[in-house]
Structure 1
Amino acid sequence: MEQNRELGSIVRRMAPADLGLYYPGGDQRCFWQGVLSHPAYRSALREIEEEGMRLSQESIPQVTYGLFALFERQGTRLEYERVYFERRRRMNTFALLSLLYPEREDYQIALHDILWAICDEFTWCLPAHVDASSSEKIRETIDLFSAETGFSLSEIRLLLGDMLPPLLRSRIADEVNERLFEPFLDHMHGRETATHNWAAVCAGSVGSAALLLMQDSERLTQILKRTESSMACYLEGFGADGACLEGLGYWNYGFGYFVYYADLLRKRSRGAIDWLREEKVSQIALFQQKCFLGGGAVANFSDSQPQAAVQTGLSHYLAGIYEAFESPPLSLSAGYREDHCSRWAPALRNLIWLDPGRTGKEWGAADYYLEDAQWLISRVASGHDRYGFAAKGGRNDEPHNHNDLGHFILYGAGEVWCSDLGSGEYTADYFGEGRYGYDCNGSQGHSVPVINGRGQSEGPDSEAIVLEVSIETEEDRLRLDLTKAYREPELLGLIRTMVWNKRGPQPELTVIDEYRFNRPPDSLLERIVTRIKPDIRVLDGEHAVVLRSGNGKSGLVIRYDEGRLTASVQARSYRDHYGKEALWYAIDFEPKQPEAFMTLAFEFRFI
């Protein structure tokens, strides 16, 4: 954005912070009456009402010191966060129900109680994000969730208006000022200059709360100068291709909060400040439609989930701005309960930004090469079935990094056959020295070679070099030099070539690895990662690895040179993002006689 913008002058001429920011003509009651009568909202309203019934029968869960201290004592997060996020779910639910049914006093009373309880919390930050050595250090910290909470309270205060008692309205304003505005203006925060989701979520939430609450134009100008700088830093984390290296989940999160802020700022500034006109922003917006392989399966590199839903409100909003943005099929819409963090901003906008006229459709066949990220993604349509392939180069020092250069994902006929395990359970060790001991993060849990018992190394020097990339009607090809990913002195060169053949009724994948060593390696494993139990069997007179879907109607065959390679399977597990044990299988191919120069090829055919 232009640095010479006269921000102070713009702030003094801003449009009022009122209901006109949210509804046509500022008519809130008319909007929600329309929601109640329109079939497009029926499923979402049912979920919200069911949550209201459940929560009405339960008391507000307490955030205790014992729960808060667990992270410092043992490095675990989920125990405290389950209670914290359940309190946000309660706030969201009764706020939305109060907007939908303003005549229901019981909803308003329940909302008042949870708003008061959240204002009572010692900190809005998560234990994992603070220095717990003193209360002063905690109080001066702004993390993702404290910023979100302040934004949420500010928005609810504006939207609910006189449905909130004057004392509660006053207290919300005081708490947001004390917990967000004052520490934000008092000192710089380390994540303000981050080039990933933290900058967008923290600064976007603080800036949005200020746009909704702050009356003092000079203080608002001071805050917006800082939030504008943070948003510029956030955008620096993207290349011209718009790829979010943190994965689609963090696109929804970080870019979502960027858009929520940009929308409020554009409206209040009467269009004088409009981030959404930026070319790079338009490319980032298109990242979602490039990630899907088929159904809900996505290219989930980094700390991302293998199946994804879309925030329909955000998608419809972007579709209204960018002609090239493809509205997703409604079948992929995220349910109200789906966000385990219970975030207010997307929950509200999934209703107020929903466009009933945009029904969307299944994303069709497409090929993308994201040059800056070094991601190749392809979707192939064959009758009613969809097939997908994704592969990556990049560097092993990306945000939410995994050691995964040369890794690939293979999807077909409703199944992910070659998987990315995605994100594991977030703990202190997960983001500490033990990060790459987790299978989902280290290269041992990705479809890449293991050389002399060691996987890839992390760090900026571990990078893939793209030797060839081509996207054609009948074939896509990605050729990567992966030598720098390994710290093996004997390794002189490792070239991986992936050929995605789209000619037949079903596509086929060929992976070819070319090795050069100064002497034969002591050991070498070619590893393929899957969540589907493999079977090594004789097929057409040759050994092959066979994977079958649960219903037995589809499958994948992996062909290899059994004269040179021995195949084996080992079952392994890791704790997934929700703390549950998740099973996966390592399919390993080991040379019977390692050589200094080897070319090993594998064919993947759908059956």
Structure 2
Amino acid sequence: MKRNVIFTGRGMLLCCLLGWIVLSTSAQEKRDLLTNEIKQFPNTSYLDSNPLSVFPDRGTVHQSLSQLPEEIQDRLVEEGDEAIEYEWPAIPVSAYLDFVRNGNRTRMQSYQNQRTKALKSLVLAEMLVQDGTYLDAIMDGVWAMCEQSTWVLSAHLSAQKDKSGMPDVEEPVIDLGAGEVANLLSWIHFYFRSDFETVSPLLARRIELELEERIIAPYLARDDFWWMGFDASFVNNWNPWCNYNVLMTAALVERDQEKLRQVVEKSAHSVDQFINYYKADGACEEGPAYWDHAAGKMLEYLELLKHLSNGKVDVGSQSVIQNMGNYIRKVHIEDDYYVNFADASARLKAHPGIIFRYGQYISDERLKGFAADVAQKEDLDQWLLKGSLDRTIHNLMEYRTLETQKAYQEKTPYFWYPETEVAGGRGDDGLFFAAKGGHNNESHNHNDVGTFVLYYQGNPVFIDVGVETYSAKTFSKDRYDIWTMQSDFHNLPQINGVSQQQGNDFKASSVDFSEGKRFIRFGVEIRHAYGESAASEFWNRSYELDRKKGAFTIADQFSLDKRVAASEVHFMSLYPPVKKENGSLSISLPNGQDVIMHYPSDKLSLAIEEWPVEDPRLLKVWEQQVVYRLVFEQVGEQVKDKWEFEVTTP
């Protein structure tokens, strides 16, 4: 990527999703909460004798749809009418092969997304009007999905033995894509089976056959899908996501009570691995953008299991489950900004329906109130109908209760996740910071040990750029060639010309956090993240937020074994920094206020670089075509020193 230098001082100055390429060492704690709950009951005594009774029937969904505002009902009919015209094109095999040929996963996924979107639109429209208008189109869509060679996404076909990129119909595997399609078809089977059978029994039987062969049978037969977590090496959002879809499929379609029991108990054992892997503090290692499909999908699984067991299997009172739920509330900054380390994006349209259901599950009024606050700031149709058919059905059952929930708007004054090593806090005048320790082998990892973000009155000052659109390179050996993954493009030093490296051994140490009436402090030793080539005896990075003064201080105190090259400190800014006199610079924010940074100009020279933002995902987050890197380069050849940067507000 080409950079444009617009100011030069003295001198000039890379989940859920694909977690198997980043392996951690072991589970955090062998809790086995679900398995231990189930062990209390003999055989299937904990399961409802009629599993289908726990789901809202078609009449209930129709009633809820018919009570929606007229403009939303009109939109559902309009989208259903559009979907009737959809012609269900086959997915070309070349669309699958794109991924191995050039890393493109989008073309194949767009075909599958169009299919599932059309089916969802048809189903909602028919359940609203109830006159058969959309039934033939629904049958066409279901048949097309059953005829599709695989529901597995092209990026995930490497789970099959054949590595050509072409689907192997003789080896069914379960991924996020297959699970989502299975979930959709299961709901359609539940609501429209009798309609299908008035035409012919063959379509309902075909759905059952495909779900058995593609989902239930391989799930029960195999223990080696990496996301199951049975090898205890690594678990991420795939685990609850896939397990939820499998359990929902079995609950809606499987008539054999013994087979359903097997799915329940195996899935509980698997989701236990996800809960075991989570640190007790409940922080989402993958960041807030993944919370919805990590802790959020776990919530959906736990909620379903609770319903299927008539409330007998319920772990909502466990502290780790409560901590996991409240993470999303605590790391909320302002508006749609959330703390975004790793592959998480800084801006997030949080799903109030899932947050509310989580609050219900753990009986937490603050979390339910936070969901209500999120919902009130977004138009009903923007979240009620968002996501899968499964999500929409649940939203329809809960939205009126959510609308009556009192909003909780109080911001968390500080948070500290001691095991995940993530902290943050707020000042009285609107300054907010978050910082992290950790290691460089976390899920969706960036080389970012010791980095931070800083906001003022909801506006980004120093940012974590985030991640570009996923491609094959994102989850390959070349991951850290991507600029947004590299420590040089985080708010971190470059030590003796050396950047951070990836792996478990490149980690933080001596992490410390303290909070008082006036100050919030976070300190971390980061030299181990750079390796021996940095020749560093120690490099202590510390942050201090003065709540009363409206000031934030970043300090680097270090000692090098020898000087190899000039060390640097980098900061990433969304808005253009302007160099002032006497070692200061200003950053003008959209609210018209300037944030000032003071730096030791006798020790460091400053270069300000423009870095173009060309990726669609990053453009959507930051809404501008450039970000700025501040490069402070060491003046002189000191091997011991302390550099302080103070950010002050108006």
1:201 to 241, 244, 265: 241
Taking the aligned partners of 1:337 and 1:594, their CA distance within structure 2 comes to: 57
Which residue in 1 is equivalent to 2:263?
223
Answering whether residue 180 of structure 2 is matched by residue 141 of structure 1, we say: no
Higher normalized contact order (CA 8 Å, seq sep 6+, divided by chain length) = 2
| 2:503 is the alignment partner of 1:459 | yes
Match of 1:427 in 2: 471
The answer to whether 1:316 aligns with 2:316 is no
- The residue number in structure 1 matching 2:342 is 302
In the other structure, the counterpart of 2:117 is 89
Normalising by structure 1, what TM-score?
Answer: 0.90
SS in 2 for 1:390: strand
SS at match of 2:485: coil
- Separation in 1, partners of 2:384, 2:277: 25
* Distance of 1:294 and 1:562 partners within structure 2: 33
TM-superposed CA distance for 1:179, in Å, is 0.5
Q: Which runs of 5+ in 1 are unaligned?
A: none
Shift in Å, 1:364? 2.4
Instruction: Confirm whether residue 569 of structure 1 aligns to residue 608 of structure 2.
Output: yes
Of 278-287 and 56-65, deviating more is 56-65
Aligned to 2:415: 368
Alignment correspondent of 1:10: 44
Cα gap change, 1:30/1:350 in structure 2, threshold over 3 Å: closer, same or farther?
A: closer
Q: 1:353 aligns with which of 384, 387, 398?
A: 398
Distance 1:424 1:210, change over 3 A: same
Q: Would the alpha carbon gap of residues 340 and 307 (structure 1) be closer, same or farther in structure 2, given more than 3 Å must change?
A: farther
Give distance in 2, aligned partners of 1:516 and 1:324: 49
Alignment partner, residue 558 of structure 1: 597
Equivalent in 181, 188, 191 of residue 227 of structure 2 = 191
1:503 alignment partner in structure 2 = 548
Distance (Å, rounded) in 1 between the aligned partners of 2:153 and 2:457: 40
Is residue 183–residue 246 contact of structure 2 (8 Å, CA) maintained in 1? yes
* Matches of 2:333 and 2:127, distance apart in 1: 38
Contact residue 370 and residue 376 of structure 1 kept, 8 A = yes
Question: Which of 36, 54, 62 is residue 21 of structure 1 equivalent to?
Answer: 54
**Cα contact 1:14–1:270 (8 A) shared by 2:** yes
1:303 to 1:138, Cα distance in 2 relative to 1, 3 A:
farther
User: How far is the alpha carbon of 1:543 from its aligned partner?
Assistant: 4.0
Does residue 157 in structure 1 map to residue 189 in structure 2? yes
3-state SS of the aligned residue for 1:433? coil
**TM-score when normalising by structure 2:** 0.84
* Equivalent position SS for 1:429: helix
| Equivalent residue number for residue 77 of structure 1 | 105
**CA separation of 1:258 and 1:45: change in aligned 2, threshold 3 A:** farther
Partner of 2:153: 126
The match for 1:513 is: 556
- Would the aligned equivalents of 2:563 and 2:639 in 1 still touch at CA under 8 Å? yes
Kept in 2, the 8 Å contact 1:311–1:346? The answer is no
Contact 1:211/1:265, CA 8 A, preserved across alignment? no
Q: For each residue in 1:407-434, what CA deviation from the matched residue of structure 2 results, as whole angstroms up to 9, or x when unmatched?
A: 1111122321111122222111111111
Amino acid corresponding to residue 593 of structure 1 in structure 2: G
Match of 2:67 among 29, 37, 47: 37
Cα 1:88–1:137 change in 2 (3 A) is closer
Aligned to 1:115: 142
- Note if contact 2:237-2:290 (Cα within 8 Å) is conserved in structure 1: yes
> In the alignment, which residue of structure 1 is the partner of 2:9?
none
Number of residues of Structure 1 aligned to a counterpart in Structure 2: 591
**CA distances 1:191-215 after superposition (whole Å, capped 9, x unpaired):** 2104211111112211221122111
Q: Which moved more, 1:131-140 or 1:508-517?
A: 131-140
SS of equivalent to 1:313:
helix
Give the C-alpha shift of residue 387 in structure 1: 3.9
In structure 2, do the counterparts of structure 1 residues 339 and 525 end up closer, same or farther at CA, with 3 Å as the change threshold? farther
Q: In structure 1, how many angstroms separate the alpha carbons of the residues matched to 2:67 and 2:227?
A: 44
Matches of 1:138 and 1:254, distance apart in 2:
30
Q: 2:90 touches 2:148 (CA, 8 Å); kept in 1?
A: no
Q: CA RMSD of the aligned region, Å?
A: 2.7
Equivalents in 2 of 1:404, 1:52: separation in Å?
46
Residue aligned with 1:601, SS: strand
Query: Bigger shift: 562-571 or 128-137?
Result: 128-137
Q: Aligned equivalents of 2:340 and 2:79: distance in 1?
A: 30
Q: 1:180 aligns with which of 215, 223, 234?
A: 215
Q: Which residue of 2 aligns with 1:416?
A: 460
Q: Distance in 2 between matches of 1:337 and 1:74?
A: 34
- CA shift digits 1:322-346 (9 cap, x unpaired): 2254222124559767899953333
- Residue 596 of structure 1 corresponds to 639
Looking at structure 2, the residues matched to 208 and 500 of structure 1 have their Cα atoms a distance apart, in angstroms, of 47
1:398-547 matches, cutoff 5 A: 398-487=442-531, 488-504=533-549, 507-538=550-581, 542-547=582-587
Superposed displacement of residue 527, structure 1: 0.5
- CA gap 1:424/1:258 in 2 versus in 1, 3 angstroms: same
Name the structure 2 match of 1:244: 284
- What SS is found at the alignment partner of 2:467? coil
Aligned letter for 1:561?
A: P
Are 2:215 and 1:170 aligned?
no
Taking the aligned partners of 2:328 and 2:353, their CA distance within structure 1 comes to 14
Amino acid paired to 1:348:
I
Q: Per-residue deviation at 1:139?
A: 3.1
Structure 1 residues 359-368 or 331-340, which shifts more? 331-340
Q: CA deviation at 1:22?
A: 3.5
Q: Which runs of 5+ in 2 are unaligned?
A: 1-32
Give the corresponding residue for 2:14.
none
Distance 1:577 1:159 in 2: 38
AA at the equivalent of 2:39:
R
How much has 1:126 moved relative to structure 2? 0.8
Offset at residue 394 of structure 1 (A): 0.9
Cα drift, residue 86 of structure 1? 2.2
User: In structure 2, the residue corresponding to 1:106 is in which secondary structure?
Assistant: coil
With over 3 angstroms needed to count, the CA separation of the structure-2 counterparts of 1:50 and 1:394, relative to structure 1, is farther
1:99 aligns to 2:127 (yes or no) = yes
Contact 2:330 2:412 in 1 (8 A): no
Change (3 A) 1:43 1:558: farther
Cα deviations by residue, 1:531-560 (Å, 9 ceiling, x for unpaired): 22222233xxx242222234x613322211
Residue 126 of structure 1 contacts residue 143 of structure 1 at CA under 8 Å; is this kept in 2?
yes
Task: Please state if 1:282 is matched with 2:309.
Answer: no
Following superposition, the deviation at residue 602 of structure 1 comes to: 0.6
Task: Quote the Cα distance in structure 2 between the aligned partners of 1:114 and 1:36.
Answer: 24
- Given the superposition, is the C-alpha separation of residues 121 and 341 from structure 1 closer, same or farther in structure 2, using an over 3 Å criterion? farther
Residue matched to 1:256: 296
Check conservation: 2:439, 2:504, Cα contact below 8 A. yes
Which range moved further: 192-201 or 355-364? 355-364
**1:498-540 Cα distance to aligned partner (Å, 9 max, x none):** 0011114xx32100001110123412110001222222233xx
Contact 1:469–1:479 (CA under 8 A) maintained in structure 2: yes
Instruction: After superposing the two structures, state which structure 1 stretch, 89-98 or 484-493, moved more.
Output: 89-98
**3-state secondary structure, aligned to 1:94:** helix
User: Secondary structure of the residue that 1:9 maps to in structure 2?
Assistant: coil
